[in-house]
Amino acid sequence: MPIIKCRDCGTIVGKDKKSGKYWCPNCREVKDGFVNKYKIAILGKNTGSSIGDNNFIKCIARYLKKEGHEIIEISIDNLYEVLQPYDIEECFRYKKKIPLKFIEYKYNPDFIYVEQTYNRYDISDIKCPVIYQHREYTHFPDIDTPDMLLCSYPFRLETFESGRPHEYSKIKYRDDLLVAVDQELFPPSNDKIIYGISFLGWAVDFWQFAVANGKIVKMIVEDQVGFMEECKDKGYIRFIQCGKGHDYYRDILSKCEAILIDDGYMNGFGRTLLEAMASKTLCIIRIHNKEQEDFYKKIGLTNEMCYFIDDVAQVGLLKEGWFSEYNIEERKKKIEKAYEWIIENHTYETRSRQLIEKFEEFKNGIEKKPYFMGYAKHRNLKVNDNGEAYIA
């Protein structure tokens, strides 16, 4: 359903059954409503016709369209076609900024929504707001001081905070727009033929993931790899390599009775967890620290929906008692509770509406800035009277 707003004050309203009009909580009376639609330009390395349907920004765009907003999807190919005066190859090679004024000039959008990319964009002289969706932990956001910074994964913001403190301190609106699940791509499944606890990996083995992520996160990954290796060696989990494409991954996930999730250090919260719960696959989640535990409490994820564990022995205890009559009923309750929670709170339909709400907050002058360096704690960084960060 579209977001309906009061025609007089712009507050989101609810339907009044008796009059057929809408009740405004701000005006405290029945009012006429309207649907506010926007023209949105979306740009990122993961836009374009060749990208799969489950890509974060493609899913957001799909549900924004369903809400009635006009979406202009701009791929890297568009940049090649439009920016003829610029040497694009040179921009990529030497990390020179690619100007994005052409987007506003050509399309006149209400705002530009940019996903993480591997090249840098120049947003100077752009009058409409620019929203940056920070997703990767392996590189910094590629826009200096966007109007809004949204983060897909709660623990990956450390990269931006610690690596680009000056840019971070100047952003007026910073909030989360967490990953989600597309319920159309991951419908609930009762065809559970892969029994016990599984771990789904994209690489051929655990250690390929550690190599691929480089030295920066090597220690973190080695802890996760070591944990999974020990669980596998003791026969507690089955490792399934899912790097054969998205359709294969979806099929395997829907057939698993339960999976082990370890999103801790780098994500804190990932799509596989949501996609498993939407598929009615039970999740066993490893907790790393109090920050992660607090985050789960904040978003409403409780032990009524999954099993929380923190060591290998606990995985073994679950494995040993897996087929007891008590656990069968307990698992069913957790699975149903998790499914209800996902559909209510963590779908792309919900995220598309949240994006619009956050944009409207910003447009109405609301600033949303947490305490500086709220995630990454660096004692040598301070903020001057102008709100700019510097190394003390």
pLDDT in tens, 141-170: 677 788 999 988 877 776 677 667 777 778
- Do the domains at 37-180 and 194-346 have one common CATH topology? yes
CA dihedral 366→372→373→375, nearest 10 degrees, is -40
At residue 390, the pLDDT reads 54
Joined tokens for residue 137: 């932990």
Fold topology of 37-180? Rossmann fold (3.40.50)
Joined tokens for residue 156: 């990956």
The C-alpha angle with vertex 377 and arms to 374 and 381, in degrees rounded to 5, equals 100
Q: What is the pTM of this model?
A: 0.79
Contacts of 234 (CB under 8 A, 6+ apart): 312, 316
At residue 309, the pLDDT reads 92
At residue 325, the pLDDT reads 64
Given the structure tokens 């990122």, which residue do they identify?
Answer: 44
Taking 3-state DSSP, the helix, strand and coil percentages for the chain, each rounded to the nearest 5, stand at 35, 20, 45
Domain residue spans in the chain? Answer: 37-180, 194-346
DSSP bridge partners of 283:
259
Residue type, 368: K
**How far is 185 from 183, CA to CA, in rounded Å?**
5
At residue 80, the pLDDT reads 60
Tens of pLDDT, residue by residue, the chain (392 residues): 566 777 667 677 777 666 677 778 888 877 766 666 899 999 876 554 445 677 888 889 889 988 888 899 887 666 666 565 555 555 555 556 777 888 888 889 999 998 876 667 788 889 999 999 887 655 566 777 889 999 888 777 766 776 677 777 788 898 999 999 999 899 998 889 999 999 987 655 555 555 544 444 555 666 777 888 899 999 999 988 887 778 888 999 999 999 999 876 666 788 899 999 999 999 999 988 787 888 899 999 999 999 999 899 999 988 887 766 668 888 899 999 999 999 999 999 999 999 999 999 999 999 887 655 444 444 454 556 665 555 55
* CATH annotation of 194-346: 3.40.50.2000
pLDDT in tens, 232-263: 999 999 988 887 778 888 999 999 999 999 87
Joined tokens for residue 139: 């590189």
At residue 141, the pLDDT reads 65
Q: Which of 275, 359, 335 is nearest to 38 (CA)?
A: 359
Alpha-helical runs (H) found in 11-75: 56-66
Given the structure tokens 């109007």, which residue do they identify?
Answer: 147
Given the structure tokens 């973190």, which residue do they identify?
Answer: 220
At residue 301, the pLDDT reads 94
